[in-house]
Amino acid sequence: MSPAPRTLFQKVWDAHVVRAAAADTPAVLYIDLHLLHEVTSPQAFAVLRERGLRVRRPDRTLATMDHAIPTTPRPRGPFVPSDPEAAAQVAQLEANAHAAGITLYGLGHERQGIVHVIAPELGLTQPGRTIVCGDSHTSTHGALGALAFGIGTSEVAQVLATQCLLQETPRTLAVEVEGRLGPGVTAKDLSLALIARLGADGATGHVIEYRGAAVRSLSVEERMTVCNMSIEAGARAGMVAPDDTTFAYLQGRPHAPQGDAWARAVRSWRALSTDEGAGFDRLVAFDATALEPMITYGTNPAMAVPVCGHVPDDVSGPTERALAYMGLSPGQALLGHPVDVVFIGSCTNSRLSDLRLAASVMRGRKVAPWIRALVVPGSQQVKREAEAEGLDRTFREAGAEWREAGCSMCIAMNGDRLERGQYAVSTSNRNFEGRQGPGGRTFLASPLTAAATAVCGHIADPRELVA
């Protein structure tokens, strides 16, 4: 008898079950890679100290600093943030990592960067792995066929101490995307359109597998953008089956298997794809062909429309509240809306391909004088690669700020933030009230739309500039 067909998710899950679910206990799931940053880890290390526990697998743990650190240009080498609270968090992570023997890519390290940017670029994010981090955008790593999800700090402590988590089995959702993205339309636009379709809680309790021709034709970095935003529809995780695109991305990266081990790894990774006939709990079909550049108008990422479209007319309670916060009216056009800040960065859109897109629009043009534009590379490696291509010069000559790697204005706890009432077009993932600074108002969009907005001085359709 041949084994029952299984989904990508089921295969990764099954391979990591330490103890199967019983009637009154959920499954115990083994975690291959645990990523740490300064903001959600201090209290977890404190739990281990209180109980006299050790970090079980420092070799399966990697720490960096990204959320609370400033991204203002700074001297090379060791560096202390001027914000005393951030400095204390940074110092705690340094002490905790040192005491436990955990590798830390801290401030001034050539591999420092946003946690979800550095793990893939180092080849630590691999197909079939289970990956967790105290950060909801851990879903990013699913782009390579890993099962990756965000956890709270109590769970961070559990993984530090046992390398395992107790997990109720999630449901599965297949998102089938047919067609191909048109010119000027990016993975971010696809993501925003999918979230608008699913709703802000449309995928709660589910692991999404993104499938179909449109997904297959995306680069790994584009797949990361799509998987990154899975949580904005409430999903536990987002995944894409590994394929030749994935293997080409991984080969030669510092932590990728080498030599004979590489060939063996690719063989086992190929077997991870969802089997013919495997069932999902739900299926949503989407056609990417007619997709246009998207932008949000409200205060959650599901409130999105084409950039050349209008704020909806028929507003109910939540939308009404969102429009009041945003200072927008029902039925209003978005093109031409005034903007104060353009933010290009975050774990959603700060990789080299994102910066290339933004630079393609800014090259030979100037950021409007009333706009502050920040370009924040996702990692020191992205920064170096961008500089080697001269992208930094393109941004600087256009009048944009070129920053150090970090989360920056996506989370606004590090000195980069909007002033009350300001409007931003941001390539980040959340337009929640105050997310980019108390009273700040965020339009989420792609790097192309953000760059087009910067040079036009108001919300703009990038297709008019990239044609």
Binding site for other proteins (CB under 8 A): 18-19, 23-26, 28, 30, 39-40, 42-43, 46-47, 50-51, 53, 67-68, 83, 85-86, 88-89, 92, 134-136, 150-155, 157-158, 161-166, 168, 200-201, 204-205, 231-232, 234, 236, 300, 317-318, 321, 411-413, 420, 430, 432-435, 438-439
Between 122 and 302, CB nearer to other proteins: 302
Q: Strand pairing of 401-402 and 33-36?
A: unpaired
Residues 16 and 29: beta-carbon distance below 8 Å = yes
Least distance in Å: CB of 193 to other proteins? Answer: 19
Between 279 and 438, CB nearer to other proteins: 438
Between 153 and 251, CB nearer to other proteins: 153
- d(C-alpha 305, C-alpha 97), whole Å: 44
3-class secondary structure, 285: strand
Between 254 and 438, CB nearer to other proteins: 438
Residues in the chain: 467
Cα 182 → chain centroid:
23
Between 204 and 251, CB nearer to other proteins: 204
Q: Which two tokens stand for residue 47?
A: 């739990």
Least distance in Å: CB of 305 to other proteins? Answer: 17
Instruction: Determine how many CB atoms are found less than 10 A away from the CB of residue 211.
Output: 22
Least distance in Å: CB of 38 to other proteins? Answer: 9
Between 215 and 424, CB nearer to other proteins: 424
Between 95 and 333, CB nearer to other proteins: 95
Least distance in Å: CB of 250 to other proteins? Answer: 16
Q: Which two tokens stand for residue 153?
A: 């700090």
Least distance in Å: CB of 287 to other proteins? Answer: 27
Least distance in Å: CB of 306 to other proteins? Answer: 22
Least distance in Å: CB of 155 to other proteins? Answer: 7
Q: Which two tokens stand for residue 215?
A: 């997904």
Least distance in Å: CB of 90 to other proteins? Answer: 10
Least distance in Å: CB of 175 to other proteins? Answer: 17
**What type of residue is 154?**
S
Element (H, E) at 221: helix 220-228
Q: How far is CA 454 from CA 56, 190, 375, 448, in A?
A: 48, 22, 11, 10
**What type of residue is 420?**
R
Least distance in Å: CB of 438 to other proteins? Answer: 6
- d(C-alpha 151, C-alpha 138), whole Å: 9
Nearest alpha-carbon partner for 430 in 311, 327, 343? 343
Output the CA torsion sign for 192, 418, 118, 14: negative
DSSP summary character for residue 231: G
- d(C-alpha 304, C-alpha 429), whole Å: 12
CA torsion angle 333 338 343 348 (round to 10):
-10
Between 81 and 293, CB nearer to other proteins: 81
DSSP summary character for residue 22: B
Least distance in Å: CB of 52 to other proteins? Answer: 10
Between 127 and 462, CB nearer to other proteins: 127
- H runs (alpha helix) in 327-379: 352-362
Between 86 and 451, CB nearer to other proteins: 86
Q: Which neighbouring-strand residues pair with 61? A: 34
Going by C-beta distance under 8 Å and a sequence separation of 6 or more, which residues neighbour residue 270? 242
Between 28 and 284, CB nearer to other proteins: 28
Q: Which neighbouring-strand residues pair with 287? A: 178
| Helices 352-362 and 447-456, packing angle to 10 deg | 30
- d(C-alpha 446, C-alpha 271), whole Å: 33
Between 24 and 276, CB nearer to other proteins: 24
Least distance in Å: CB of 139 to other proteins? Answer: 11
